[in-house]
């Protein structure tokens, strides 16, 4: 494990009222840091951060990250910026491709430009989606990115996040901006909504309400799910790692499960009598929708940089999500 820098004391989180951002804010506050959040609430929610308002070190601003004068003030007051603001969820991406591209590229452009003026470290959240249709599993950070055709809106998200990565790394190489790019793999846990197509909370809500659990495609596609608390701890650790600067790092679990197996697991853990129903991709999204059969990270680099990787098994994660929705 490489030597860590002193822990920052002031953090700015773009998209901080979102699922991951709000958990990150809580984690940093627990570490004794001051945290400022900016979010336009397009996919985030005040309910995610209401419990943080009483904390003396917490502040929030409801605004678009592309408001440069406002963001410049927030950047000035931060030591590290966690850039999580982005269009999220397959359903939103397919239904709103213009918003996806404009949000992802535009927000990152503004964040990097303002951070560069002040030399502030930026942790840029990317996604496993950038690996696209690459079949060389597990994915390593230097693997080729294999995108689908531009006529299929499904690939707009992956391409926009790849551009974010290129831009962040260009700022690092050309202007010395300290950046870390993190590729997140299916982060899940309590508080996540199924509103934009996130599979685990969708399955849990369906199971608890007695609705059919809807599996898109044939259910053989597999994913690796990581508990949000472990993911945000990794992000905070990477922000302290000098060796991570200028690097792309996979952040996720390497424990793989098929979507059909996940549906069966949720049904069992919830004690549900729901049927499991297969839904063709064309019916769920659009004609010609493409999905990746497997998405598994190689987390060797993360282990080397911070000394740990997400470990919680999917059964324990699912139990926590079921408990969360039952308590609601």
Catalytic sites, residue numbers: 157
Phi, psi angle pair for 115, to nearest 5°: -65, -35
Distance (Å, rounded) from C-alpha 287 to C-alpha 230? Answer: 37
Within 10 Å of residue 128's Cβ, how many Cβ atoms?
Answer: 22
Calculate the alpha carbon distances from 181 to 65, 141, 254 in Å.
19, 10, 19
Calculate the alpha carbon distances from 32 to 6, 25, 27, 44 in Å.
13, 11, 9, 24
Cβ contact 111:65 at 8 Å: yes
Distance (Å, rounded) from C-alpha 299 to C-alpha 253? Answer: 8
Burial class (CB within 10 angstroms; exposed 0-12, middle 13-18, buried 19+) of 273: exposed
Write the CB contacts of 163 (distance below 8 Å, at least 6 apart in sequence).
Answer: 104, 105, 108
Distance (Å, rounded) from C-alpha 217 to C-alpha 196? Answer: 17
Which among 317, 209, 318 has a CA at the least distance from the CA of 263? 318
Helix ranges (H only) for 123-258 are 156-175, 199-209, 228-240
SS3 content of the chain, % helix, strand, coil (to 5): 45, 20, 35
Distance (Å, rounded) from C-alpha 318 to C-alpha 285? Answer: 25
Distance (Å, rounded) from C-alpha 140 to C-alpha 63? Answer: 36
């Amino acid at each position: 494990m490489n030597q860590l820098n002193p822990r920052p004391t002031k953090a700015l989180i773009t998209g901080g009222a979102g699922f991951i951002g709000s958990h990150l804010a809580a984690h940093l506050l627990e570490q004794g840091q001051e945290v400022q959040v900016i979010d336009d609430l397009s996919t985030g929610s005040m309910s995610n951060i209401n419990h943080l308002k009483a904390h003396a070190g917490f502040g929030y601003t409801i605004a678009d990250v592309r408001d440069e004068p406002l963001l410049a003030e927030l950047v000035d007051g931060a030591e590290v910026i966690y850039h999580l603001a982005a269009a999220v969820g397959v359903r939103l991406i397919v239904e709103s491709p213009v918003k996806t591209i404009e949000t992802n590229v535009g927000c990152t452009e503004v964040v990097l430009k303002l951070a560069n003026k002040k030399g502030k470290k930026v942790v840029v959240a990317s996604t496993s989606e950038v690996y696209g249709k690459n079949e060389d599993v597990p994915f390593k950070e230097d693997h080729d990115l294999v995108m689908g055709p531009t006529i299929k809106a499904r690939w707009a998200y992956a391409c926009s996040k790849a551009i974010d990565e290129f831009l962040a790394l260009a700022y690092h190489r050309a202007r010395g901006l300290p950046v870390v790019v993190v590729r997140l793999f299916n982060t899940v846990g309590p508080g996540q909504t199924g509103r934009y197509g996130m599979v685990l909370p969708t399955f849990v809500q369906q199971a608890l309400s007695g609705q059919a659990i809807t599996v898109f495609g044939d259910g053989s596609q597999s994913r690796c799910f990581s508990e949000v608390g472990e993911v945000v701890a990794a992000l905070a650790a990477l922000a302290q790692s000098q060796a991570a600067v200028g690097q792309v790092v996979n952040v996720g679990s390497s424990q793989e499960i098929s979507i059909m197996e996940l549906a069966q697991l949720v049904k069992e853990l919830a004690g549900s009598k729901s049927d499991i129903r297969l839904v063709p991709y064309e019916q769920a999204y659009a004609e010609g929708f493409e999905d990746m059969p497997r998405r598994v990270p190689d987390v060797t680099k993360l282990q080397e940089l911070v000394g740990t990787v997400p470990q919680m098994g999917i059964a324990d994660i699912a139990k926590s999500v079921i408990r969360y929705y039952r308590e609601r």
